[in-house]
Amino acid sequence: MTYVSHVRPRWSDMDVYGHVNHANMVTLLEEARIPVLFGEAVNEGLTELPKGVVVVKLAVHYRAPIIATPDSSVRVEIALTELKAATVTLGYRVHAGPDESDPVAVTAETVLAPYDTGALRPRRLTAAESEFLKRVFADA
């Protein structure tokens, strides 16, 4: 199951070649996951998750360029591909436009770890956080 987020690339995200550059693509992936990991988590009473999540690993594969236009958005489908005691792996399919029928331009994967900002170290997911992640992606 996937969680769908629509993100609007900005004109400033484009590079000299006219497409969204790598660093800004990574930011778009981050913007796509924020509503679920921070907004929906807080709505569920999970206040520790939004306090600290770090990217442990990131892989981005480009199939086609994404062009930013004034009224454009891209469809980002996010799937929970692996859930361990201390990491969450999310897989992404970024469509070149807002619709499911638009071609997939980018696939990506991030491994995320909850982080204790007070102790300055990674921490394990709580049972409630793990259940939330399973549920939110299963319900998507």
Please give the pLDDT value at position 4: 94
Q: Which two tokens stand for residue 13?
A: 């995200």
**In whole angstroms, what is the distance from residue 106 CA to residue 62 CA?**
5
Q: Give the pLDDT of residue 105.
A: 96
Number of domains in the chain: 1
Which secondary structure element, helix H or strand E, spans residue 110, and what is its range?
A: strand 104-116
Looking at residue 92, the DSSP 8-state letter turns out to be: E
Q: What's the domain range around 62?
A: 2-139
pLDDT of the residue at 73: 92
pLDDT digits (tens, 9 = 90+) for 113-132: 999 999 999 999 999 999 99
Q: What is the DSSP string of 10-77?
A: -GGGB-TTSSB-HHHHHHHHHHHHHIIIIIIHHHTT--SGGG-EEEEEEEEEESS-----TT--EEEE
pTM of the model: 0.92
* pLDDT on residue 67: 86
Q: What is the pLDDT of residue 13?
A: 84
101: phi then psi, degrees, rounded to nearest 5: -80, -15
Q: CA-CA distance, 12 to 23, in Å (whole number)?
A: 12
Of all helices (H) and strands (E), which one includes residue 121? strand 121-122
The enclosing domain of 57 has a CATH number of 3.10.129.10
Residues of the chain whose pLDDT is less than 70?
1, 139-140
